[in-house]
């Protein structure tokens, strides 16, 4: 076998190893874990009861992992974010306010409020179809006004996510309870 073949074979082995174990648990000193553990973690950390009938629990778990552990959606889309006395910024444990979870209403400046991501009366997260949600996440265009770019939404980062991960986020949002905003004065309260 030629030297080039050995190098390619070695690179293939490295790529396979990386594909199997890519993410870490976040705990110091712990080894990386297989990707499918995200779904288990996502289901465990969901702060509200999930309506899993007619849903793929694996996909919902992955979506929860991104919404609750990686994307900080609650900071801008839950008003308030934390249950009373639970803000980790003031010594609390970080328990999310389930009653207003992703119900929107967080003031963003003088004239803007973050929209709800919770399902509407038709079961659509934030009133958006899957295609509208994916488009907003990819382009930053307001689904209600395509000439307006969502300035505060970090779509410029989310647009690089794999489509399957964005679909998982949407599927998670479909199975959470409906919610209305409570009272808050800004993100992350």
Say if 127 falls within a structural domain. Answer: no
Q: What is the pLDDT of residue 129?
A: 97
Per-residue model confidence as pLDDT tens digits over 129-144: 999 999 999 999 999 8
Say if 6 falls within a structural domain. Answer: no
Domain that holds residue 48: 35-118+164-174
Whether pLDDT at 123 is above 80: yes
d(CA 137, CA 157): 9
Say if 5 falls within a structural domain. Answer: no
d(CA 11, CA 18): 11
Q: What are phi and psi of 117, to 5 degrees?
A: -110, -5
Pairwise pLDDT comparison (4 vs 47), residue with the higher score: 47
Say if 110 falls within a structural domain. Answer: yes
Q: What is the pLDDT of residue 153?
A: 87
Say if 180 falls within a structural domain. Answer: no
Q: What is the pLDDT of residue 36?
A: 84
Q: Do residues 142 and 134 touch, judged by C-beta distance below 8 A?
A: no
Chain centroid to CA 32: 21
- The pTM of the full predicted model, rounded to 2 decimals, is 0.80
Sequence-distant (≥ 6) Cβ neighbours of residue 131 within 8 angstroms: none
Per-residue model confidence as pLDDT tens digits over 138-169: 999 999 898 998 888 889 899 999 999 999 99
Average pLDDT of span 118-136:
96
- Indicate the number of domains in the chain: 1
**Tokens describing residue 60:** 């919902």
Angle at 173 between CA 52 and CA 67, to 5 degrees: 115
Say if 83 falls within a structural domain. Answer: yes
Pairwise pLDDT comparison (11 vs 185), residue with the higher score: 185
Say if 39 falls within a structural domain. Answer: yes
Which has the closest alpha carbon to 182: 123, 106, 115, 112? 106
Q: What is the pLDDT of residue 165?
A: 94
Per-residue model confidence as pLDDT tens digits over 65-107: 999 999 889 999 999 999 999 999 999 999 999 999 999 999 9
Average pLDDT of span 171-176:
98
Q: What is the pLDDT of residue 28?
A: 54
Say if 62 falls within a structural domain. Answer: yes
């Amino acid at each position: 076998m030629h030297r080039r073949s050995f190098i390619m074979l070695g690179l293939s082995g490295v790529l396979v190893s990386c594909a199997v174990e890519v993410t870490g648990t976040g705990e110091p000193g712990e080894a990386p874990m297989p990707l499918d553990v995200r779904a288990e973690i996502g289901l465990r950390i969901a702060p509200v009861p999930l309506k899993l009938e007619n849903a793929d629990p694996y996909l919902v778990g992955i979506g929860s992992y991104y919404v609750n552990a990686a994307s900080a959606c609650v900071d801008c889309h839950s008003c308030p974010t934390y249950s009373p006395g639970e803000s980790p910024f003031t010594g609390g444990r970080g328990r999310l306010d389930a009653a207003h979870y992703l119900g929107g209403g967080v003031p963003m400046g003088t004239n803007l409020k973050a929209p709800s991501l919770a399902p509407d009366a038709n079961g659509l997260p934030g009133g958006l179809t899957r295609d509208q949600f994916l488009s907003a996440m990819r382009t930053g265009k307001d689904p209600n006004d395509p000439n307006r770019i969502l300035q505060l939404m970090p779509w410029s980062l989310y647009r690089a996510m794999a489509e399957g991960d964005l679909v998982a986020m949407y599927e998670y949002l479909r199975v959470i309870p409906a919610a209305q905003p409570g009272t808050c004065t800004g993100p992350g309260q």
